[in-house]
Amino acid sequence: MRWLCKLALAMMLITPIGAMAQSVDMSVEIDDKTAELLGENATLALKNKVSKIITRNGMTDSEGFFALVPSIVVTDEGVVDTGMMKMKVVSADFTLAVKNIVDNTTFNSQIVPLRANGKDLASALRAMVNMINVNDVRYAKLLKDSQEIINNFYAKQMPLLMSKIEAMVAQEKYEEAMAALSMIPNNVEAAAKISQLKIDIYNKTLENEVVRAVADAELLVRQGKINEALDLCRTVNKLSPNYHEVTAFMKRLDDQAAQAEAAALEAEARKQDAEKVKEKTLSEADVKGEQFKQEMVEKLNAKSPSANSGKKKSIGQILFGL
């Protein structure tokens, strides 16, 4: 029950099913050397720049199997005396690499030379980050050329991924399974199977929520908190396959209220055909999967003193161990 309120809020922001298709999720990972060279503020600015490169090329900046990894290597430094002050001049190679973060394989890369100046090295490097053009066609080509390689990865790895996810479901590790499914893009060949599996898993989580809600409501009734028990039951998602258990419980407490709830549910069900119910359930399942994935990412980051440490395990490694 705890996460249903959060889920309801997330549903207010969700896009329609038809608009959810995307090429691939790709996070931004900055190596330790580049982060140390730039400093905290310039590193954040670089991360924001690379994130825009991802989203402006039809992808989603989100934790998955792949990352767009930027790095800056200084190739030359000098000082120019302008007459009024001395300026630090820095030349560097800016590299964008598409990597599989599970096994650290580099699929493709693009190097762009940059040159900037400032009153010191730090300001020159910050100016260099500002010079990065997120609309540069070279970056667009890099991501486009990487698509075939990425698609081949999914074609090859999908049986293994699905096997691991099905094992999670068999062990009733529904949160992990939903997070894992959310790492797989919507345009893979097994998209229909993945969508149905999301619905099946989500229905299982809803069933569990009903069981817990009814048990908690029973306890509230024994404590004489009838109104609180009814309020708790009314927060249960009506898409739950076993929602009838809630209405049956409410009937025992307040027959009239239960009949009204059941009638409202039946009236609503008549307004929706099976496909609309399926789409709504899949939408909620996608939101829940993203929430589970984000929570796991936050837990991983909380365990690591450095968000960019090369020693940390990604969510892909934790879930799939590829």
Pairwise CA distance, residues 160 & 194, whole Å: 14
What per-residue confidence (pLDDT) applies to 311?
Answer: 59
- Number of Cβ within a 10 Å radius of residue 75: 12
Matching CATH number, 19-154, of 3.40.50, 1.10.1740, 3.90.380, 1.10.3470:
3.40.50
The more confident residue out of 272 and 141 is 141
Domain boundaries, the chain: 19-154, 157-320
With cut-offs at 50, 70 and 90, classify the pLDDT of residue 322: low
pLDDT in tens, 82-105: 667 788 899 999 999 999 887 788
pTM: 0.61
Query: Torsions phi, psi of 179, nearest 5?
Result: -65, -40
pLDDT in tens, 176-225: 888 888 888 777 788 888 888 889 999 999 999 999 999 999 899 888 88
Question: Which residues, 6+ apart, have CB-to-CB distance to 126 below 8 Å?
Answer: 38, 41, 42, 45, 118
pLDDT in tens, 2-35: 333 333 323 322 333 333 334 577 889 998 899 9
Q: Which of 137-141, 202-206, 277-281 has the lowest mean pLDDT?
A: 277-281
Q: Which of 145-149, 195-199, 267-271 has the lowest mean pLDDT?
A: 267-271
The more confident residue out of 321 and 51 is 51
Name the residue among 22, 31, 102, 104 with its Cα closest to residue 55: 22
| Residues 293-310, mean pLDDT to the nearest whole number | 68
With cut-offs at 50, 70 and 90, classify the pLDDT of residue 66: confident
- Number of Cβ within a 10 Å radius of residue 92: 21
